[in-house]
Amino acid sequence: MRGYLMMLFMAGFLFSLGGVHAGSLRIAWNGKSDYVIITPDIEKPAVVYASQELQEFLRRITGATLPIVPESQAEGKPAFALGLCKRAQNAGLVEASENLKEDGVLIKTQGRDIFLIGQNERGHIYSVYVFLEKYLGVRFLAWDCTVVPECRKLELPEIDYSYSPPFMYRETLYWNSFPKEIAVRQRLNGPWTKCDESVGEKIDFFPYVHSFSQLIPEKEYFEKHPEYFGLQKGKRVAGAVHAQLCLTNPDVLKIATEKVLKWIEEHPETPIFDVSQNDGNGPCECENCMKIVNEEGTQHGPILRFVNAIADEVAKKYPEKWISTLAYAYSTKPPALTKPRPNVIIRLCHAGCYFHGFETCGLNANFATYIDQWSQLTHRIFIWHYATNFAHYLAPNQNLNGLAKDIKFYGSRAVNGVMVQGNYQGPGGELAELRQYLASQLMWDPSQNPAVIREDFCKGYYGNSAKYVMQFLEVMDRQSEKKDIHAFGSSDPLKTVSPEFVEESLGILAQARKAADTEMMRNRIDKLTLPFWYMKLISPAKYHLLQEDAYALLDKVKKIIRKNKITHIREGEPNAAGWLSEMEMMYSPNPPDVAFNFMQIHRAERENCVTWRIAEVERGGEKIPTIFQHPDAQHDADATYKIDLPNLQAGEKYVLEFGAVITNRTKNGVRFAILVNDKEIWNETKTVFLSPDQGGSKSAADSVLPGNNPFSDHRLDISSYAGKSITLTLRVNALGNDEYDWANWIEPKIIRVK
């Protein structure tokens, strides 16, 4: 490890560490230094923070502790001069710093002094980190890994470097990118970071996004003024998801404008205020709104005219504030006539395949076109880029090449802000540390070579195992190059992760673990291996996991999840513990009286099941396991098991025991059915659902239908199939409308009774 770091350190310099060059600066030797770190006499928190960081890293590199002194006490001493101190002013560097753009940095030697200056308070800190990276070989790889080479004889060449990042807003929504210590070191400045005044603040939004429901709350306005809300198929619809506002209603504009002005009064420190569509779809279809849609050729027409009107009023009173709005889902296409006002930011949301990049994947063609079209309308475009599988945070996601290509693409257009959304809800997602580092480096400087960034990371983060990790990443890259495999925000990894990919990766990572020489390194390799073990557990048949090996593998997975405090398997409430319970149910041995356990859901062959997973419902104060089966709107959703039923002894019988319940506000009911050998033996259509106070979804209605029990329990005698091989199908049908058809089978099993 030490040998690699020294090679990295030496290779990255423009000078030799061993000898003195003409014009070079002798900084430290044998733990001693003539240098001090000076700050302006009138200190600001960010410069204080920067000086302390510089002092600490120079101490770790050289062994010398440079004093931090106010500039008035440092006359005649060579110095690292931070911020716009008088020495920087006397050196004529104020004008040079003023030419920098947002968060830009200036690093310059003059005489014996080294000046570290930023365009703003954040920039002063960033100048220190850029200096440490670029000239001293430090690497801020992850929250748990900083590479700091040692050099007891440190000399610097003459330096004249200035740089401004193309993206003023840079954010990675990974859990471990939020603490200010790592966020500021990786030059991340978005709202989810914990960056405060001590590190130059951050670029904040209020609200963060999807604000229509806050501008015109349903509870406050819908009953008396349904006309404020979007018309869908002749009906006014309200809500925070799949429901929007009527943006041509003048009262809606008036109320929303007043609300935004009030937000600005209440949050004077916030630079950007969000006026954006709710999540999902549901744009207004009224005559006035559709007239604008037709004029502009896009659903963004009514949105942008509405947002511009609010932005005009904000500009009159608060010219320094910005209004942001989404171009998302149904509204990514830019309007033909209307341009965003100068104080409007378009937050354009990533659409298309993760794996291939905009310029190589046909599924991304429209999005690339929309970026170019928006670039002709405005130079204030922030990108919301999806980088994780929200339904499977732990599954392999072969998007490293695609992510790098896309950030570089953004850098070549009129984009000046990028947020890469990862598994933001908890630590430990697939390749989270590498993807965070790769994204943060490219957002700072898209001209960098992604392969070099990746190699830097692997050698620093994985040590002796690095060569195997890079070999594994090459395998992943080859998978991502397959043109017939695409992935989106909540893709089914069974369609994108082949058994061959799993086995080859596991083989390489086993070698990586053998090479790991510390428990920390072994744990890091285990985290790389976890996604492939995850795939085996969720689909043992496809990935060749034998039933007799499954429980031991599950035990390994449990230990890794708990050791790394992984809380989320997918987006939503904390669900890792629940998923582990599901796996326990799937792989634990059955009790003696259970002839077949349907909770082993991996044994089912599925067709038209939008969702098929183990869940829980509450009944009588007790949480009980279920199989959650969601149909599509047009077909029977079938889950079919192949079952061998042994012969019965005298006096015995087989009973199929199960319950059924719906846990959300179904529109027209769900038909449950059970088939044996394709012949229906039972059915029930349920319209009564479990309300929130009974343990159902929070989005369900306040009560169930009067006098009805949402649960139903059943026992079917199937003894006639004893001694036979059968197929048994659990079927649900949406009856033409699948909205909130959250069908649950309660602990279905075949028991042998006397």
- Which whole number is the average pLDDT over 715-737? 96
What residues contact 720, with CB distance under 8 A and at least 6 apart?
none
- Chosen CATH of 590-753 out of 1.10.357, 2.60.120, 2.40.160, 2.20.25: 2.60.120
Q: CA 555, 556, 559, 561 torsion: positive or negative?
A: negative
Give the alpha-carbon dihedral of 484, 486, 492, 493, to 10 degrees: 80
Burial of 262 (C-beta count, 10 Å sphere; 0-12/13-18/19+): exposed
- Asked if omega into 207 is within 30° of 0 (cis), the reply is yes
pLDDT on residue 696: 55
Which homologous superfamily does the CATH classification assign to the domain defined by 2-164?
A: Chitobiase/beta-hexosaminidase domain 2-like (3.30.379.10)
pLDDT on residue 691: 64
pLDDT on residue 357: 82
User: How, if at all, do strands 113-118 and 79-82 pair?
Assistant: parallel
Give the domain ranges of the chain. Answer: 2-164, 172-462, 480-576, 590-753
If pLDDT is split at 50, 70 and 90, which confidence band does 705 have?
A: very low
Tell me yes or no: is domain 172-462 CATH 2.60.40.
no
- Which whole number is the average pLDDT over 29-58? 95
Whether the Cβ atoms of residue 493 and residue 537 lie closer than 8 Å to each other: no
If pLDDT is split at 50, 70 and 90, which confidence band does 11 have?
A: very low
pLDDT at 207 over 80: yes
- Which whole number is the average pLDDT over 480-490? 87
pLDDT at 390 over 50: yes
pLDDT on residue 692: 60
pLDDT at 624 over 70: yes
- Which whole number is the average pLDDT over 652-667? 92
The upper half-sphere exposure of residue 188, i.e. CA atoms within 13 Å in the direction of its Cβ, equals 32
- Closest by alpha carbon to 145, among 407, 523, 482, 483? 523
- Closest by alpha carbon to 208, among 246, 173, 254? 173
Number of Cβ within a 10 Å radius of residue 727: 13
pLDDT on residue 709: 64
**pLDDT, tens digit, for every residue of 166-176?**
999 999 999 99
How far is CA 73 from its chain centroid? 48
- Which whole number is the average pLDDT over 643-666? 94
Range name among 209-223, 246-260, 655-669 with the lowest pLDDT average: 655-669
pLDDT on residue 623: 86
**pLDDT, tens digit, for every residue of 505-535?**
999 999 999 999 999 999 999 999 999 999 9
What residues contact 307, with CB distance under 8 A and at least 6 apart?
275, 323, 325, 340, 344
pLDDT at 396 over 60: yes
If pLDDT is split at 50, 70 and 90, which confidence band does 590 have?
A: confident
Range name among 568-577, 660-669, 695-704 with the lowest pLDDT average: 695-704
- Which whole number is the average pLDDT over 285-313? 98
pLDDT at 395 over 80: yes
pTM, two decimals, is: 0.87
pLDDT on residue 364: 64
pLDDT on residue 716: 97
State what percent of residues in the chain have pLDDT above 90. 82
- Closest by alpha carbon to 81, among 107, 59, 120, 56? 107
- Which whole number is the average pLDDT over 155-175? 97
How far lies 671's CA from each of 358, 630, 666, 688, in Å? 42, 11, 11, 12
Average pLDDT, the chain: 92
Rounded-to-integer distance, Cα 90 and Cα 654, Å: 93
Three-state SS string across 591-615, please? CCCEEEECCCHHHCEEECEEEEEEE
- If one compares 486 and 746, the residue with the highest pLDDT of the two is 746
